[in-house]
Structure 1
Amino acid sequence: MNSYVKKDLKYIWHPCSQMKDYEEFNPIVIEKGKGVWLYDVEGNKYLDCISSWWTNTLGHSNKRINEAIKKQVENIEHVIFANFSNKPAIEVAEKLVKMTPDRLSKVFFSDNGSSAVEIALKMSFHYNMQKGNTKKKRFVALSDAYHGETLGALSVCDIDEFNKVYKPLLLDTLRVEGPDCYRCKYGLNRDNCNAECFENMKKCIIENHEEISAVIIEPMVQGAAGMKIYSPVYLKKLRKLCDKYDIHLIADEIAVGFGRTGEMFACNHAQISPDFMCLSKGISSGYMPMSVVMTTDEIYNCFYGDYEERKLFIHSHTYSGNAMACAIALENLKIFEEDNIIEANREKGELIRKLTLEKAKLSKHVGEVRSIGMITAIEIVKNKETKESYPWNMRVGYEIYKIALNKGLVLRPIGNILYFIPPYIINKEEIEFMVNTCFESIEEYFKREK
């Protein structure tokens, strides 16, 4: 055990971890990164196929972003964002308005995804209170949803590992059974269905519309639910029903925005525009914490007026509109445009999907391969015919993850779901290494368990 690991275990409490596990499975101390690769203090290297929690879109130590940071740090690193502004924030806001779906014309800055969700929930509720819609005090969210881990965000989550213990503190959210295309109750396929499962949402909204302020949803992919990918028809139906009953639609694109699904934004698959769009992660390519909430002129104007009217939206974070983060985001978005990242993503995503499907056909342990854009997920099952899952306490995915690490692949699972969400700059050889190593690790685990 090197000195860094000893000090880490002595001083640091890691997130999403049972620290007792670290006694046998020590933390890996990363010294540097380049492209899709991470290098630890002992000289080992690992392919980062999860983009360091889905955020590093353009690879580690990207030369252009590095230069943008150097340039910005010589000017201004941070300045109060109330009654002050900065050039990178203004320029990135302009770019975001031009590239996001129609109607999203205002940008509210914050510093992380959970905060963006909190802001959208608060804005929706506050808007309705100022409009006199005083019954509209509740939110609707899908089963197995994940939207962050502050109390407001947890209120619209539905994953026990995150929110069960805090339920006495949480908002009374209306919960709707979400799409589960792998185990579809209607026996249909997401590629050609009419989102028949939307009936659950429709029933909830019709029965409770007078008290619903907003519906929040992860467009196209429920990430922490196990990369559940569903039909864009679901989003089209949801937008139409929200319009009918004067309900806000909040699109949580924190994980799926900025090209991850093969479109710049996941809502583009359904050609809809939400009332709020929460963005983070890929906006700054993992370099610095940053998030924004995009919203409409109608919502913005509801808070516009004389100070004495008390209509203002008071929600502030110290690092809102941080000049360094905005400079990074601006360069990130320029690279997207100039290097045609979206089109390249589609080709690479298809290659990942193709190679994964080929390997999955030869494995009796993979139940489904689900894929969209630069997201490909593999569900490990006990029985392919019945789609029976392994019990969570077997930690099958976690054990495969540990084997893969020894082979040089960061493959952090969600339960028994393994997934590829690599940086967009990954090349063909790296894709082949990623897929092959994953399946080698799966087979090694089950041979060991026999």
Structure 2
Amino acid sequence: MNEFDLLNITSNSYQESCEQMRNELEKRPENQSLAQPLYNDPNMFRADLEQVFYKEWIFVGMTSEVPTKGDYFTVEIGQNPVLIVRDGDGGIQAFHNVCRHRGSTICTKHRGKVANLVCPYHQWTYDLKGNLLYAGTEMGDSFETSQHGLKKAHCKTAGGFIFISLAKEAPDDFDAYLATLEEYMEPYDMENTKVAVESNIVEQANWKLVIENNRECYHCAGSHPELLNTLLEWDDTNDPRATPEFLEQYERQAAEWDAEGIPHQHQDFDGLRNRIVRMPLKEGVEVMTLDGQQGCSKLLGRIKNRQLGSMRILHLPNSWNHMQSDHCIVFRVLPISAQKTLVTTKWLVHKDAVEGVDYDPERLRLVWDATNDQDRILAEQNQQGINSLGYQPGPYSETYEFGVINFINWYSETVRKNMK
């Protein structure tokens, strides 16, 4: 089955799979991986789209990607093309990228700049707030343009991050996290950044395996030599593996952060679904480059201390991020099919930084290009094993894989809640 061959799934088989899915999630042992169909069955993949990606808040991009009026980018959530655009008042709008005439895609490029949104099929024209301006005289005198504006998606921004929800009524438990995200991102002034480089990797693995792999560093020592040049493996100061030396380093650097007014206290929301924590990198390390030294000569925002560590930001179901003194790295995960996932990585620098003068894109991306490819191989090998007749759910380590346990618990609870 290819990415969008969901129409071949009959209604009856889908409903039966949903019932099986609900039963599997209700009976699963809490600290074990999921049953095989939850990782490879097309019906259950469709349920993941409908119950998670079509109903929850999804990270799609950064406000600095649409810096001025008419700037836009597009993204696909399952079979739903979505358009993100900066309107004339400086606000960020999210629309279904679907013409109200006969449903054609309006913006066909990944990103661009427009005065108005014009459907290439029959030139129906919308303003940047989605109002229909022109449909031609062919529609007749009784046609009401006011009734045919673009359909909106819920959209919220905080600290430079853009989140959308395709639900009829978006979840209402998001604002406390957004307020904290805004506070913690203030030093970076993300509106005045730009994407220096972007990568897109298609992994032949279920999206949940991609997230599971990210939520633990149990595998790091054996798989990520480039990353471990700079990254400390533990998740926060409460990590049971954290050493006294690390805790002393944290206290010393935290005092420097406090002096500069840089937030760093661990924050989590909704059972760790949304999480922010600032962690030191290895002693003497500035940022996550191969040698640990600066990636860009221009610091971000009001930052003065290059040893700012990495502010790690988690948003389930589809994003993790590393905010550093001179560049930020944001990750977005979008499911394509039951065993195919798009992972997008963006490196952001100060908007005035000049490529080849202030930063070298290859230097910026080297560590995470290597890490992403290593993780792709791990996820794909994981998927191959799960597809085997020999697979059965296995136990997670409560010490090393507590982040995976947290993700799977959140996923299970969310699916069951949204199926009601």
Q: Structures share a fold, TM > 0.5?
A: no
TM-score normalised by the chain length of structure 2: 0.33
Larger proportion of helix: 1
TM-score normalised by the chain length of structure 1: 0.31
